[in-house]
A and B are shown apart, each in its own frame.
Chain A
Amino acid sequence: MKKILVLSLLAVFGVYLLEVLFKIDFGHQFFLHGVKDFYLTTSPDKMGVANVVTAIVVNFRGFDTLGEVTVLFLATTAMSSILYKGRHQLGERAVLFSSSRIVMTGSKLLFPAIILLGAYVFIHGHLTPGGGFQGGVIIATGFLLMLLSYEDYKVSHVALSLVESLAGITFASVGLLGFLNGGTFLQNFLPTGGLNNLISGGVIPIIYIAVGFKVGAELTGLIYTALNEKD
């Protein structure tokens, strides 16, 4: 009886939900008063940023991005806080079977290429699709590959938290530097440069490079903590 009641309630709500959601006419000109046109025209014309998504993520809504970077930072802090056991209790990694020589050599060859690709993606964040978050994830996959193929591969916790903190401080300080010349937080204070040049878009590349380092270090730290967790 109870189940039938729950199911019928869910069905009523589901029908209502579908009824409403089907009315969103995606693909049509349904924002009459929205903010999108302003973003589309301002980004290339006034800010010299070819990738509009990056302009929105890092400049128009840069404050959100600072928040998201903090969320990631907190997630790593939280995970290492919960998994932290004190140095003497840290065990060896559990390894089911060790990797073959081919895997080991192959990973060693691939590793620099992956890091290079990651760096390329976040350095060109304002020109091509991708950016700090994507580049950082690519870098972390490089470290994941090394950690999986070498049982005794070590990543220095000190170095990771150094990179993490410095990148975060860079982001927040660039934000505070926006107050120069009577501007606002996170406002661009550098020349915007020409459209489609590597050095253009003012502070956007600086912030995205910091984000790239930060995401890379954090995800690597997450993987490393999780792999070395022994229980």
Chain B
Amino acid sequence: MVGTPVLFIAIPLLAAFLIPLLGFVWKESVRILPGLVLLYLLYLAVNLMGQVAHSGTIVEVIAGWAPPWGINLVFSPLTGLLTTLMILMGFIIWIYSYRFKNIDFREAVKYFILLLMMITGSVGIVLTGDIFNQFVFIEITSISAYALTAFYKGRDSAEASFKYLIIGSLSSMFLLLAIVLIYSQLGTLNMADIADKAHLMKPGFKILALIFFITGLGIEAEIFPLNGWTPDAYAQAPGPVGAAFSGIVVKAGVYAMIRVIFTLFDVSGTHQFLIIIGMITLIIAEMAAVKQDRLKRMLAYSSIGQMGLVIVAFGIGTEEGVFAALFLMLNHAIIKSLLFLSGSYLVYNSTEKYIHETDGLAKHLPITSFLFALGAIAIVGMPPFAGFWSKWSILSAAAHSNMILVIVLILSVSIIELVYYFRVVNRIYFFPKQKEVEPKRPTINALIAMSILGILILVIGFYPDSVTGYLHSASQSLLEKGKYIQDVLSTGQLFIQ
């Protein structure tokens, strides 16, 4: 027994409260402590994953009250996988941002507290088994995200952050309304309990709660009409924060939405709705990405598009489809973070971050350019890199469900994707360098962080079997709704005081 799931929340919170105090004693500790915390949590996550594979879902009760009455955390193959992924990405992003830009001590305190809390909030969204507790964690994540978006304190970043703040508050309002509606009908906030009793809700309430949930969580998950904040926030936030958005925060939003649709309510037609809305998101985002002339905005639109694809894959609804969606979430987290991390060194000294400013940088920044190219090739789905396997499994899942139109659309959108990524790679490698651009050599930590991601892409690309086992058990655990309810509600009996 190395620890329990609650430590994923308690330890970082303790560290966040401790960071300002430690700063008085030893300034460097402010930068080191988050890394130590994340490293320990990674160790814990890997250990618990082994335990879950061996003896089944861990349900942890908090404050000693059985699930319908108290709050509980669920560490299942699915939530465990996402937690491990988020902590891993968080740790890599910490390595990268250890000495990113020359921020002074007081700024570093804020930066590391906010980054650590954004990761913790996302992990909390995934782990919790209580709908209101999830709302609290969504608040924690979003407030850190607003502040990190505005971290450079420029005019544009303030605008982006403000936009995100307004849309994000709207999202919280919708979520709270949905939770109130559910509580007014069932008198319970526990997800398993709600899923168990959902048939007692009047249909009108159920549909309305579902609409509010999809609207609220759709904002976090970057679904099409609700993602107006995304390109601005990604483009204005510091590089590592952009990577954390696409690698951690969006994943938590998608998870929350999928949990509501797959576990909480069984409303017929939701899956078809997911396919349609995901398809629209995919197509519109990829078309917008082609038109961008700024690197980070292009990456942001590509991120939205990939999330659309994830939603489509979830919408297919079969075990194969869910597997493909989770695989794509994993790959996208790794690859898009690599693109953001290497991309932000390609446009390091530029204020406007235009794509043409990366011309010919391959000679000056060979490793960064190589890693960016690797990420670009992997994300468009070239074999034998990581992205290929996830796209392949989505296509085969669609084929087995006879969704020919979906396959045609995904393939044609992939061509668009190919065009805009290869345009950038082409510029980096084969165009003459612009004179006024001053390339900035990445620091050693940044190189280490990016290399780890590059190696992960290669490992998953050549040995997809290394992760597929976990992904299969995760997708089964999402689809086995009865088992989830039983797992959670049966722990209850043990703990009544």
Interface residues of A (CB under 8 A from B): 16-17, 19-20, 23-24, 30-36, 38-39, 46, 59-64, 66-68, 70-71, 73-75, 77-78, 80-82, 84, 86, 158, 161-162, 164-166, 168-169, 172-173, 175-176, 178, 183-188
Q: Is the beta-carbon distance between B147 and A82 smaller than 8 angstroms?
A: yes
Which residue of chain B lies nearest to A83 when distances are taken between CB atoms in the complex?
Answer: B153
Q: Is the CB of A77 within 8 A of B113?
A: yes
Give the distance in Å from the alpha carbon of A31 to the alpha carbon of B197 in the complex.
12
A73 to B197, CA, bound (A): 36
Are the CB atoms of B188 and A178 closer together than 8 Å? no
Contact indicator B63/A84 (Cβ below 8 Å) = no
Tell me the bound Cα distance from A85 to B10 in angstroms.
32
Contacts of B133 in A (CB 8 A): 61, 63-64, 67
B402 within 8 A of A: no
Q: A60-B69, A81-B147, A158-B24 are in contact. Are A172 and B17 (CB under 8 A)?
A: yes
Asked whether A34 lies within 8 Å of B186 as measured between CB atoms, the reply is yes
Q: Which of A16, A46, A67, A86 contacts B136 (CB 8 A)?
A: A67
CA distance A138 to B110 in the complex (A): 27
A67 with B24: in contact, given A62-B62, A80-B110, A184-B64 (CB under 8 Å)?
no
B65 to A162, Cβ gap below 8 A? Answer: no
| New A-B pairs, 6, CB < 8 Å, besides A17-B208, A64-B136 | A33-B197, A33-B200, A70-B140, A166-B21, A168-B13, A172-B17
B110 to chain A, nearest CB (A): 4
Contact A31 B187 (CB under 8 A): yes
Q: Is the interface of B mostly helix, strand, loop or mixed?
A: helix
B427 to chain A, nearest CB (A): 35
Which residues of B lie under 8 Å from residue A46 when comparing CB positions? 497
B137 CB-CB contact with A under 8 Å: yes
Task: Give Cα distance in the complex from A64 to B24, angstroms.
Answer: 30
A16 to B497, CA, bound (A): 43
Specify which of B14, B18, B63, B71 lies most central, judged by the most chain A CB atoms within 10 Å of its CB: B63
Instruction: Determine how close the nearest CB of chain B comes to the CB of A68; give it in whole angstroms.
Output: 6
B49 within 8 A of A: no
In the complex, the answer to whether A186 meets B124 with C-beta atoms within 8 Å is no
* Contact code string B1-43 (vs A, CB < 8 Å = 1, else 0): 0001010011001101110110010000000000000000000
Q: Which residues of B contact A34 (CB under 8 A)?
A: 186-188
A184 and B69 alpha carbons, distance in the complex (Å):
14
B116 → A minimal CB distance (Å): 10
How many whole Å from B80's CB to the nearest CB in chain A? Answer: 18
Complex CA gap A74/B95 in Å reads 22
Contact A35 B68 (CB under 8 A): yes
The answer to whether A67 touches B63 (Cβ under 8 A) is: no
A70 to B60, CA, bound (A): 21
Say yes or no: B21 contacts A165, CB within 8 Å. yes
Across-interface contacts of B117 in A (CB, < 8 A): 70, 74
Q: Is the beta-carbon distance between A60 and B18 smaller than 8 angstroms?
A: no
> B150 within 8 Å of A by Cβ?
yes
Shortest CB-to-CB span from A186 to chain B, Å, is 4
Query: A61-B132, A67-B133, A165-B17 are known contacts. Are A77 and B10 too (CB-CB below 8 A)?
Result: no
CA of A7 to CA of B161 in the docked complex: distance in angstroms? 29
Residue of A nearest to B15 (CB): A172
Q: Cα distance A24–B183 when bound, in Å?
A: 11
User: Quick check: A74 and B140 within 8 Å, CB to CB?
Assistant: yes
Contact A67–B139 (Cβ < 8 Å): yes
| CB-based contact A169/B144 at 8 Å | no
In the bound complex, how far is the Cα of B142 from the Cα of A71, in angstroms?
Answer: 10
B110 & A84 in contact (Cβ 8 Å cutoff): yes
Contact B10 A75 (CB under 8 A): no
B107 at the interface (CB under 8 A from A): yes
Instruction: Type the 1/0 row for B142-162, where 1 means its CB is closer than 8 Å to any CB of A.
Output: 011011001101000010010
The answer to whether A186 touches B140, judged by C-beta atoms less than 8 angstroms apart, is: no
Within 8 Å CB of A39, what residues of B?
Answer: 69
Complex formed: what's the CA distance from A30 to B186 in Å?
9
Interface pair A81/B69, CB less than 8 Å apart: no
Q: How far is the CA of A82 from the CA of B63 in the complex (A)?
A: 36
> Are B21 and A162 closer than 8 Å at their CB atoms?
yes
Cβ of A173 and Cβ of B70 under 8 Å apart?
no
Evaluate contact between B184 and A33: CB separation under 8 angstroms.
no
Q: Are B14 and A81 interface neighbours, CB within 8 A?
A: no
Q: How far is the CA of A103 from the CA of B375 in the complex (A)?
A: 65
Residues of B near A61 (CB, < 8 A) are 70-71, 132-133
Residue contact A73 to B17, C-beta cutoff 8 Å: yes
Chain A residues contacting B63 (CB-CB under 8 Å) are 59-60, 62-63, 178, 184-188
Least Cβ distance of A47 to chain B in Å? 9
A84 touches B136 (CB 8 A): no
B21 & A73 in contact (Cβ 8 Å cutoff): no
- In contact, B20 and A33 (Cβ under 8 angstroms): no
B436 at the interface (CB under 8 A from A): no
- Indicate which residue in A32, A70, A166, A184 contacts B62 across the interface (CB closer than 8 Å): A184
> Which chain B positions have C-beta within 8 A of A31?
186-187
Does residue B202 face the partner (Cβ distance < 8 Å to A)?
yes
- Pair A184/B60 contact, Cβ less than 8 Å: yes
Answer yes or no: B364 CB below 8 A from chain A CBs.
no
Docked complex Cα distance between A74 and B147 (Å): 9
Is there a chain A Cβ closer than 8 Å to B205's Cβ? yes
A23 to B143, CA, bound (A): 34
Query: Which 4 pairs, one residue from A and one from B, show the smallest C-beta to C-beta distance?
Result: A34-B187, A78-B147, A31-B187, A168-B17
Answer whether A78 and B61 are a contact pair too, CB < 8 Å, given A60-B69, A161-B20: no
Tell whether A71 pairs with B136 under 8 Å between CB atoms, given A35-B187, A168-B13, A184-B63.
yes
CB within 8 Å of A: which B111-132 residues:
111, 113-114, 117, 124, 132
A20 engages B200 (CB within 8 Å): no
Q: Which residues of B contact A71 (CB under 8 A)?
A: 136, 139-140, 143
Expressed in whole angstroms, the minimum distance between the Cβ of B6 and any Cβ of chain A is 4
Are A78 and B205 CB-contacts (below 8 A) given A35-B68, A184-B61?
Answer: no
Q: Which residues of B lie under 8 Å from residue A30 when comparing CB positions? A: 184
State how many angstroms separate the Cβ of B12 from the closest Cβ of chain A: 10
Contact of A63 among B71, B113, B161 (CB under 8 A): B71
B139 cross-chain contacts in A, Cβ below 8 A: 67, 71
